[in-house]
Amino acid sequence: GMACVPRFRESGFNRRPFGCHRYDVYSPKLHRQITLFGRHALDLWITLEASSSVLSYCERPIIIPGSRPVRAFDFWVQRAEGEELLVLMRNQDQKSSDNEEPASDIQSLSGTSVEGIPIRCIDPGDMTDHQITLANWGSIIRDLAAFERFIPEPLCNDVKARLDTRKSIAQLQSELSDFDASTVRLAIFQLLHRGEAVCSELATHRLTRNHVIARP
């Protein structure tokens, strides 16, 4: 793993946009509480938390230069191959012809950089194709946030050792019947979260005990 110190560790801007719902969540990846404003930010957070390629991230790390009204980048993200700043497009960022107001400059940020970090603009509409993934990972992350400290590491290793063939959650629970079924399920979630196990059905079907777990 990379032992680099994250460039951003806490939000630099906490003003809630008007009319945005506030979500207070716990990040198993960062081991801290974070506050998110709006459903799109929540969905994007779930994708970052669920992606094993994301080593670290920070919500609203810095202000977008020259933004009027002032707003922050939604996330700074660190992957092995480098950093990026993510901006969620809002309605007013889309170019409009019938409207006297010029579109914001947000779209023009895409492909530029700030402090040497490339900027990527994200259309929230692209996330709506992934509702099943978001729902499944949302529940996995909530379970890990609540119960991670109760998952024995030897159990995680034991589950991993049994993945030489693909097995359903139910099969793993019955093979590891010395442990409470819910603890085995949490150990599986922990491995999925770390990228040490995979489950392709998380993208296609709501999570059940029949989901098949495999080695990456």
The mean-pLDDT minimum among 19-23, 29-33, 170-174 falls in 19-23
Residue 34, SS3?
strand
Read off the pLDDT of residues 170-202 as tens digits, 9 standing for 90 and up. Answer: 999 999 999 999 999 999 999 999 999 999 999
The mean-pLDDT minimum among 15-19, 41-45, 51-55, 87-91 falls in 15-19
Phi–psi pair at 13, nearest 5 degrees: -155, 115
pTM, full prediction: 0.89
Read off the pLDDT of residues 150-168 as tens digits, 9 standing for 90 and up. Answer: 999 999 999 999 999 999 9
Read off the pLDDT of residues 68-87 as tens digits, 9 standing for 90 and up. Answer: 888 999 999 999 999 999 99
pLDDT at 46 over 90: yes
Mean pLDDT across the stretch 43-52?
Answer: 96
Angle 204-189-142 (CA atoms, 0-180°, nearest 5)? 90
H-helix or E-strand containing 184? helix 181-194
Which pLDDT value is given to residue 172? 98
Read off the pLDDT of residues 107-153 as tens digits, 9 standing for 90 and up. Answer: 788 889 998 999 999 999 888 779 999 999 999 999 999 999 999 99
More confident residue, 98 or 160: 160
pLDDT at 92 over 70: no
Which pLDDT value is given to residue 110? 85
Give the whole-angstrom CA distance, residue 23 versus residue 60. 14
pLDDT at 106 over 90: no
Residue 87 half-sphere exposure toward CB, CA atoms < 13 A: 29
- pLDDT category at 14 given cuts 50, 70, 90 is confident
Give the whole-angstrom CA distance, residue 58 versus residue 67. 19
Give the whole-angstrom CA distance, residue 77 versus residue 56. 6
Contact in structure between 191 and 147 (CB atoms under 8 Å): no
Which pLDDT value is given to residue 133? 96
Cis peptide, bond prior to residue 69, ω within 30 of zero: yes
Which pLDDT value is given to residue 4? 59
Task: Annotate 136-183 with DSSP letters as a single string.
Answer: HHHHHHHHHHHHGGG--HHHHHHHHHGGGS-EEHHHHHHHTTTS-HHH
119 closest CA partner among 165, 83, 91, 95: 83
Mean pLDDT across the stretch 84-103?
Answer: 68
Which pLDDT value is given to residue 1? 40
73 closest CA partner among 81, 82, 84: 84
